Structure 1
């Protein structure tokens, strides 16, 4: 069953929206009437959305992206920019790789939220959805640093939600398991097949399924949810 939402006259920023989950989220918001701004280092053509080259780890690029809104507020922020890193044992990893994973997945989310939150504060309302991962809840072997970064996303979500609970700003997290994206497919057929075997539903998730959850979290139907972590794992999450 297709559920429709109305986001006309609302401005939504989706980081990492050039492909995968982020693109599905941006497309769903655009189809629901939102004024969508995709922030990504990759350009993207998506009907009903603006594409802006923004490296979420660089404060000046974030500020320039916000300046393009020309004084409009930000009603919705989806922090989706992410980097998985190599699938390998931690002892074989390189510190330079750790930094990239932490910078994109954790620090980038902090940088963007730090600049967007004051706009929501002034308006007294807003919706922030941080994309975490099942890895952040359970810890996944061969993705140790990514797991640590995702755990930081979850903790940040819970802490920030309590700081803004005197407003109509809601902060939540979505923690997907393996979703059928290029990022997951790039891990190789053997790894993907193992993920499917480990899934109680025996498949990868679809990006559109994640997008549907994000839109619900940003709708009035979810006004009582904040500081929560919503699994999208096909039953893999154990708690």
Structure 2
């Protein structure tokens, strides 16, 4: 199908960056991140478009998607990888930390899906891939807030997938197991898992879903699980 245009939300580190790297070789990529220096570094390294965007602010999400469309005319796929870690006992989490996790993991995911699907419906095709977490499949008592916010995203995606009524617009989700990224570091926590996959390993699956063609088999609503030996 030749070079296509993809948006990677949360593409400045971890899984999002790994996805952007794989796509940038052959396609047009727009990376969205909330730290200006990181966005500039990644866009310079990959030779892609970089946009500073706090997904918890709807106007920033709306304007970022509008800029991508203005520049490239269409969007073939959107990967929403942005997430805030909120691990630990509920009693130990500050109200500010809880609020930020909800703002990014729930509100941010909603805003991204809203703008992504607005564009995909307008053009009549495209793929939306939500990166969830294996934590939503089985309760983990040590991360109640993180799991709750990621479960919100899963519920949202499942409903949106059923609402498309067309295979030309595919809404999918992928639930990775633990990965050693900056997710915990950004929240001042440590990565403690002993069984995990590297972001580069999981990124290949995200890219596969992003590149599905409009006439490929009906997979909207598909849930891809990567347990990576844990469960």
Q: 1:104 — aligned with what? A: 104
Alpha-carbon distance change, 28 to 7 in structure 1, aligned in 2, over 3 angstroms: farther
1:168 aligns with 2:162: no
Q: CA deviation at 1:226?
A: 1.7
| Helix, strand or coil at the partner of 2:96 | helix
Report the Cα distance in structure 2 between the residues aligned to 1:7 and 1:98, rounded to whole angstroms: 43
Report the Cα distance in structure 2 between the residues aligned to 1:55 and 1:223, rounded to whole angstroms: 34
TM-score w.r.t. structure 2 length? 0.87
Q: CA deviation at 1:96?
A: 2.6
Q: Are the aligned partners of 1:13 and 1:74 in contact in 2 as well (CA < 8 Å)?
A: yes
Q: 1:91 — aligned with what? A: 91
| Helix, strand or coil at the partner of 2:74 | coil
Report the Cα distance in structure 2 between the residues aligned to 1:38 and 1:110, rounded to whole angstroms: 18
Q: 1:150 — aligned with what? A: 150
Listed one character per residue, the Cα deviations across residues 172-229 of structure 1 (whole Å, up to 9, x for unaligned) are 11111111212246643xx52xx21xx4xxxx21111111001111233764322122
1:131 aligns with 2:131: yes
Q: 1:212 — aligned with what? A: 204
1:56-75 pair list within 5 angstroms: 56-69=55-68, 70=70, 72-75=73-76
Q: 1:22 — aligned with what? A: 16
Unaligned runs of 5+ in 1: 1-5
Q: 2:28 — aligned with what? A: 35
TM-score w.r.t. structure 1 length? 0.84
| Helix, strand or coil at the partner of 2:11 | coil
Q: Are the aligned partners of 1:38 and 1:50 in contact in 2 as well (CA < 8 Å)?
A: yes
Alpha-carbon distance change, 7 to 97 in structure 1, aligned in 2, over 3 angstroms: farther
Report the Cα distance in structure 1 between the residues aligned to 2:56 and 2:205, rounded to whole angstroms: 26
Query: Could you say what the CA RMSD is over the residues aligned between the two structures, in angstroms?
Result: 1.9
Listed one character per residue, the Cα deviations across residues 49-93 of structure 1 (whole Å, up to 9, x for unaligned) are 2111011111211122123221612211111111102x3211222
Aligned length: 219
| Helix, strand or coil at the partner of 1:173 | strand
Report the Cα distance in structure 2 between the residues aligned to 1:12 and 1:84, rounded to whole angstroms: 25
| Helix, strand or coil at the partner of 1:28 | helix
Q: 2:82 — aligned with what? A: 81
